[in-house]
Amino acid sequence: MDRLFTPASIALVGASADPEKLSGRPYRYLQRHGYEGELFLVNPSHDTIDGRRCYDSVTELPRTVDLAMALVPARLTPQVVTECGAAGIPYVLVIASGFSETSEGAALEAELLDAAREAGVRLVGPNSEGLVNVPRRVGASFSSILKRESLVPGGLSVVTQSGAFGGALFQLSQDRNVGGNVWLSTGNEADLTTVDFLRHLVEDAGTDVLVSYVESLTRGGELLDVGRRAAETDTDLVAIRVGESPAGREAAASHTGSIASDDAVYEAVFEQAGVTTVWGVDEYVDLVTALSTVPAAAYPDVDAEAGRGIGVLSVSGGAAVLIADTCHRVGLPLARFADETVAAIEAEIPAYGSATNPVDVTGGIISQPELFERCMRSVATDGAVEGVVLQFGNSGGETVETCKAELLDIQAESDRPIAVVFTGGQPSPETATELREAGVLLFEDPVRAVRTLKTLADRRTARGRTARLPDRVDYADRRPLPGDGSWATVADALAEVGVSFARTVRVERADAAVDAAERIGYPVAMKLDPLVVDHKSEVGGIRVGLDDAAAVGDAYEALAALGDGVLVQEQVEGVEAVVGVVDDPDFGPVMLVGPGGVFVELFDDFAYRALPVTESMAREMVAETALGDLLDGYRGAPPGDVDALVSLLVAVSDAYATYDLAELECNPVIVTADDALAVDLLVSAGE
């Protein structure tokens, strides 16, 4: 996609002579921002615009261009795309609205896509606000981002499903001097999608921080590939993901025409792919500023057990308490200072201060600002400190002037992130700029400072995990489930790839049922084959605790009267879990794991992962639900075999990769002290 993102030549098809019109803006903006490639105007209604020749059609252009921007009304876009194909133009960016985001426009969008496929052209949009490449001076957009006289270049790229909101976010970063690389409004994604653009930009050396504003993803499973590459290319992935509420989903649908998968699945797969999600404007600004400022090598490596964490120096005991509490809330440990650090601080501050972390130098600094300066180095260079919060109060504007030289020295000597919080008194604009340019993070609210340091601390952990993501599987290439679809054949096929089941025998007569029960050992459970009869509980199709031949014989007669396929099953006691795989519309195969049985309704607590699930992922899933506690043994109950459950999850993932299934559910799986056995099963075959 280099020709798209860094086009050597651009044709503006339907360019207007009126620079105020949306179709007139791209020409003006490309000029304003100094586009250095060749620019062609195409508009049969004009001979020239701004003294520049207008061609009647792209087919008349003197050379093949890299990118055509279709500024024509919606109904004309298929024709333009066809002509672009004829002219050998590889990418067409369509800004017109009135496609699948309206009730009438879906057919036109299909027509546009057909035209593109036929012509061998790749589309951006329709309903896109365009594309900006800051360092290459490409302003192929009508977004008001480009109203600025100049843009600050840098490593931030934004791929947005909302042109207006994504534009506002990019503008906010520019306002805070966070340099930009590429900005792209994806529009309706009729052809190229968010994931396609992320795939390209994660390989782009100019992009360090890659943000996407997402309402719903097409081929979301590929986000895992992007995540793995991001870990390898040292790129930070950030998402603002919206559309989680019913009203939000409906609003998103009316806006882009698509309905997204369950929010819990989004959240899980984003985390799996190492994407940091932010909520709202402040979190976005704080995070992209920090990621753009603090080099990857400086990620704090916090470890509460080793005593490592952040160091806090505050002019106010009250703020110190708030910071300590916030660290606790977000799970960021406070460093345990070395004795020498405490002694050095104690020697400086009044007796009514606190020399341990968080340090309270006390209001004494109002008359002695050098107190703060003298303690800074002790805190920032303590071996356990991986990040620093310096909290100022109303006198912060003056205090920082006393401390500035020392602070800049400390930051220059170390790559630990330093957050300076000015609550009340503010630094002069010059000092603020000087600190920012030296790599110091500035805040007004200590809570936001701590949250930001926490996110920096998490990015190392996240990268380690995404770097180990397994290769994705081609689910198109699977074989059909063998057999007749009954329990015996399906369970056998699944057992072949490692899924364990409670011993189960299909019987055709009462005496065979008793024989089976004797071989299995009492008590046994009996039921109709769930793969043949659905909703067994409702029709009374399950019997448990059968502990002699008479009970088994009676149960056989009762069940056989209800339907075919009576099963006799080992009765297993233990912790119940639900395990399933669904074919998620946005992400493809996704596994769900959680407490089962009576705990389903009480906890409503499931973990999700896009397949394939590895052993370490399976272990995470168990730990992050209440299953972790339940299997740990509570109220004196024996602990359950977590390893066996983990193996079963991996086997279920393998089974889904092997057989052509749409859905697969084991509910419940019973986890005993030394095994994990599926006792019920539902499958539906792929189409």
Binding to a copy of itself, residues 585-614 (CB under 8 A)? 597-598, 601-602
Q: 3-state DSSP call for residue 302?
A: coil
Residues paired with residue 69 on neighbouring β-strands, in sequence order: 12, 93
Which listed range, 407-415, 442-450, 487-495, 557-565, lies at the site for a copy of itself (CB under 8 A)? 442-450
Q: Which residue, 206 or 541, has its beta carbon nearer to a copy of itself?
A: 541
Q: Among residues 51, 471, 538, 635, which is the contact residue for a copy of itself, using CB under 8 A?
A: 635
Q: Which residues contact 7 (CB under 8 A, 6 or more apart)?
A: 37, 65, 66, 67, 91, 138, 140
CB of 411 to a copy of itself, least distance (A): 23
Query: Which 8-state DSSP code applies to residue 414?
Result: -
CB of 311 to a copy of itself, least distance (A): 12
The dihedrals phi and psi of 506, each to the nearest 5 degrees, come to -90, 135
Q: Is residue 21 a contact point for a copy of itself (CB under 8 A)?
A: yes
Q: Among residues 292, 316, 341, 500, which is the contact residue for a copy of itself, using CB under 8 A?
A: 316
Q: Is residue 329 a contact point for a copy of itself (CB under 8 A)?
A: yes
CB of 273 to a copy of itself, least distance (A): 21
Query: Which 8-state DSSP code applies to residue 127?
Result: S
Q: Is residue 446 a contact point for a copy of itself (CB under 8 A)?
A: yes
Which listed range, 57-65, 79-87, 420-428, 613-621, lies at the site for a copy of itself (CB under 8 A)? 420-428
Which listed range, 27-35, 346-354, 465-473, 550-558, lies at the site for a copy of itself (CB under 8 A)? 346-354
CA nearest neighbour of 502 among 485, 524, 518, 484: 524
CB of 623 to a copy of itself, least distance (A): 15
Q: Is residue 673 a contact point for a copy of itself (CB under 8 A)?
A: no
CB of 335 to a copy of itself, least distance (A): 11
Q: Is residue 401 a contact point for a copy of itself (CB under 8 A)?
A: no
> Count of residues binding a copy of itself (CB under 8 A)?
96
- Within 359-378, which residues bind a copy of itself (CB under 8 A)? 360, 362-363, 366-367
Nearest-10 Cα torsion for 455, 461, 464, 469:
-80
CB of 455 to a copy of itself, least distance (A): 16
Q: Among residues 66, 189, 196, 215, which is the contact residue for a copy of itself, using CB under 8 A?
A: 215
Instruction: Identify whether the C-beta of residue 480 lies closer than 8 Å to the C-beta of residue 685.
Output: yes
Q: 3-state DSSP call for residue 244?
A: coil
Q: Which residue, 492 or 629, has its beta carbon nearer to a copy of itself?
A: 629
Work out the burial of residue 534: count CB atoms within 10 Å of its CB; fewer than 13 is exposed, 13-18 middle, 19 or more buried: exposed
Which listed range, 198-206, 273-281, 288-296, 490-498, lies at the site for a copy of itself (CB under 8 A)? 273-281
Three-state secondary structure along 642-685? HHHHHHHHHHHHHHHHHECEEEEEEEEEEECCCCEEECCCEEEE
Which listed range, 65-73, 133-141, 349-357, 659-667, lies at the site for a copy of itself (CB under 8 A)? 349-357
- Within 233-262, which residues bind a copy of itself (CB under 8 A)? 240, 242-248, 250-252, 254-256
- State how far the alpha carbon of 193 is from the alpha carbons of 85, 125, 168, 229, 638, in Å: 20, 9, 21, 18, 50
Q: Is residue 20 a contact point for a copy of itself (CB under 8 A)?
A: yes
Q: Which residue, 328 or 519, has its beta carbon nearer to a copy of itself?
A: 328
Which listed range, 52-60, 278-286, 485-493, 676-684, lies at the site for a copy of itself (CB under 8 A)? 278-286
Instruction: Identify whether the C-beta of residue 229 lies closer than 8 Å to the C-beta of residue 202.
Output: yes
CA nearest neighbour of 648 among 664, 632, 624, 633: 664
Structure tokens at 647: 């193996």
Q: Is residue 352 a contact point for a copy of itself (CB under 8 A)?
A: yes
CB of 492 to a copy of itself, least distance (A): 32
* Amino acid code (one letter) for 193: T
CA nearest neighbour of 498 among 305, 664, 650, 612: 650
Q: How far is CA 668 from the centre of its chain?
A: 29
Q: Which residues contact 235 (CB under 8 A, 6 or more apart)?
A: 201, 202, 207, 208, 209, 210, 229
Instruction: Identify whether the C-beta of residue 199 lies closer than 8 Å to the C-beta of residue 222.
Output: yes
Q: Which residue, 216 or 466, has its beta carbon nearer to a copy of itself?
A: 216
Q: Is residue 169 a contact point for a copy of itself (CB under 8 A)?
A: yes
Tell me how far apart the terminal alpha carbons of the chain are, to the nearest angstrom.
34
Structure tokens at 93: 């960016």
Q: Which residue, 178 or 517, has its beta carbon nearer to a copy of itself?
A: 178
Rg (CA), the chain: 31
Q: Is residue 125 a contact point for a copy of itself (CB under 8 A)?
A: no
CB of 145 to a copy of itself, least distance (A): 7
- Within 552-591, which residues bind a copy of itself (CB under 8 A)? none
Q: Which residue, 74 or 514, has its beta carbon nearer to a copy of itself?
A: 74
Q: Is residue 280 a contact point for a copy of itself (CB under 8 A)?
A: yes
Q: Is residue 479 a contact point for a copy of itself (CB under 8 A)?
A: no
Q: Is residue 171 a contact point for a copy of itself (CB under 8 A)?
A: yes
Q: Is residue 384 a contact point for a copy of itself (CB under 8 A)?
A: no
CB of 179 to a copy of itself, least distance (A): 17
* Amino acid code (one letter) for 334: L
